Amino acid sequence: MGLFDGLRSIFGTRAESDATSGADPDDLFGMSTAYLTMSADLGYEPTGYAALCFAEVDSHEFAGTVSDVRDILAAGEAETGTVSRFVDDDHGYRWVVFEDEDDFEDLVTNLNFAADTFIEEGYGSRLLAAVFAFEGRGQPADWIYSFRRGSYYPFAPAPDASHERDNQLELKLASVLDGELDVEDDKEYWYPLWPSEGGRHPWE
């Protein structure tokens, strides 16, 4: 399954019909403590990157919301040190990518603000996923929050870029963080978000 298939699955008909009713951007704040467990118990550190994926709406109102999010994030950059940029991928989805190597909690706060703004403006249904990137011992491991399901799941791509997953690591991450994060029980919804060839992150 490629990047497009993963995104389409999360945002597609089945995910919509099976969506939980409790998706809440405040769930993202669970990562503010979970990253400490990732470090202390598992040896995985934040890479300094997180991102919010959403689907566009062809309307002036939606474009205005995107512009507002962009302007406010840019204005807060001097205070938080969190750099943000908007990225278009090859499949019609957009990403707000956040970078902050010094303060992971600022990453979480900025991502929550962006998601909350979309929801307040009536575009919560366009939110797809939030991605928090970690790495340990040369092995990447991401936590993905599905807005359709209102839950987290781990994604650990093999470091050799073979489009294989480290299922054992994913199960270990889920076991350790379950209770601290609302981990998705149904593993059929643990969709991979593969990066493009040569990339590390799905927005690349």
Q: Which residues span the domain enclosing 143? A: 3-189
Q: Does residue 65 sit within a domain?
A: yes
Strand bridging mode 93-99 / 45-55: antiparallel
Burial of 7 (0-12, 13-18, 19+ CB in 10 A): buried
- Mean pLDDT score, 114-119: 94
When pLDDT is averaged across residues 119-138 and rounded to a whole number, the result is 93
pLDDT in tens, 148-178: 999 999 999 987 767 889 999 999 999 999 9
Residue 201 included in any domain: no
Whether 121 is in a domain gets the answer: yes
Q: What is the CATH number of the domain that holds 83?
A: 3.30.70
| Mean local confidence (pLDDT), 33-51 | 97
Q: Is residue 198 domain-resident? A: no
The span from the CA of 131 to the CA of 91, in Å, is: 17
Categorize the per-residue pLDDT at 10 as very low, low, confident or very high, splitting at 50, 70 and 90.
Answer: low
Q: Are strands 45-55 and 151-155 parallel, antiparallel or unpaired?
A: unpaired
194 assigned to some structural domain? no
The predicted pLDDT at position 3 comes to 46
Looking at the domain assignment, is residue 202 inside a domain? no
For the chain, give the percent of residues with pLDDT over 70: 88
What's the pLDDT at 8? 55
Which has the higher per-residue pLDDT, 9 or 175? Answer: 175
Instruction: Copy the structure tokens of residue 125.
Output: 């249904």
In this predicted model, what pLDDT tens digit does every residue of 11-31 receive, in sequence order?
444 544 454 445 688 999 999
Q: Is residue 20 part of a domain?
A: yes
Please report the pLDDT score of residue 5 as a whole number. 52
31 is a domain residue:
yes
pTM value > 0.85: yes
The whole-number pLDDT of residue 22 equals 54
Q: What is the reported pLDDT for 93?
A: 86
* pLDDT of residue 46 exceeding 70: yes
- How many structural domains compose the chain? 1
Residue 162 burial (10 A CB sphere; 0-12, 13-18, 19+): exposed
